Amino acid sequence: NAGVMQNPRHLVRRRGQEARLRCSPMKGHSHVYWYRQLPEEGLKFMVYLQKENIIDESGMPKERFSAEFPKEGPSILRIQQVVRGDSAAYFCASSLQGAGQGVNEQFFGPGTRLTVL
Amino acid sequence: QKEVEQNSGPLSVPEGAIASLNCTYSDRGSQSFFWYRQYSGKSPELIMFIYSNGDKEDGRFTAQLNKASQYVSLLIRDSQPSDSATYLCAVSDSGTYKYIFGTGTRLKVLA
């Protein structure tokens, strides 16, 4: 499967627990983006990462949320002490090109549906 | 605040007709424009992108861009029931990487 992979596809957590969402970009892509989609709403940008670097995290809530994209392994979106309002679909996208490199087509993974009880 | 606006719909068209989906954006500096299709419960799927004024055709899909009017549209010819989905417009500035998404237009193609 050469597409963007995300796991788990569904994640259930109780309030106060931690959620870890993983994303493996398409082969050859080094640019990863995380988006959140609330029910009946559009996709909202959260963070843009390249290998070992956070390029822009302006869409991330200031507290409880963090992201990384290590040299080896998938990108991780981590949500600490989850609350019910964190329930949403979290999508990861990857692109071959990044900022200032022309049209950066972003290809989306299947998403992780987080439910906080 | 940069915004992308779409009519939420639903837009209902009969099978075989042309579906016309519209999108306006607020940032005059925007350079690249993308159309995604999203089926219920699924992830967005890239249909096509456009960055030059005018029309761009790909199979049954035609994207139209008018930068002066800050308007981009997607035409779907010979609409099929399988085209029923939510269509998301996304706008990206060439100097950045962020996509700003509209809330999407729900299309229903009636058999």
Lookup: tokens for B32: 């690249």
Nearest Cα of chain B lies from the Cα of A80 at a distance, in angstroms, of: 24
The CA-based dihedral angle spanning residues B107, B102, B100, A12, taken in that order and rounded to the nearest 10 degrees? -80
Q: Report yes or no: A111 at the B interface, CB cutoff 8 Å.
A: yes
Could you tell me which residues come within 8 angstroms of residue A8 by beta carbon, excluding any fewer than 6 positions away? A21, A22, A112
Would you put residue A20 in left (φ > 0), alpha (ψ -120 to 50) or beta? beta
Phi and psi at A100, nearest 5°, equal 70, 10
Provide the residue type at B91 as one letter.
V
Lookup: tokens for A61: 């809530």
State how far Cα B2 lies from the chain centre: 17
> In the prediction, which pLDDT does B89 show?
96
Could you read off the pLDDT of A54-76 as tens digits, one per residue?
999 999 999 999 999 999 999 99
Cα-based angle B71, A106, B10 (whole degrees, multiple of 5): 50
Could you read off the pLDDT of B53-108 as tens digits, one per residue?
999 999 999 999 999 999 999 999 999 999 999 999 999 876 667 789 999 999 99
* Chain B residues with a Cβ under 8 Å from any Cβ in chain A: 32, 34, 36, 42-46, 49, 51, 88, 90, 92, 94-104
Cβ contact, residue pair A100, B88, below 8 Å: no
pLDDT classification of A102: cutoffs 50, 70, 90: low
Instruction: Determine the Cα–Cα distance for residues B98 and B29; give it in Å rounded to an integer.
Output: 13
Residue A117 scores a pLDDT above 90: yes
DSSP A63: S
Residue A112 scores a pLDDT above 90: yes
Instruction: Determine the Cα–Cα distance for residues A84 and A91; give it in Å rounded to an integer.
Output: 18
Cβ contact, residue pair A45, B49, below 8 Å: no
Q: Report yes or no: A25 at the B interface, CB cutoff 8 Å.
A: no
Nearest Cα of chain B lies from the Cα of A13 at a distance, in angstroms, of: 20
Instruction: Determine the Cα–Cα distance for residues A47 and A35; give it in Å rounded to an integer.
Output: 7
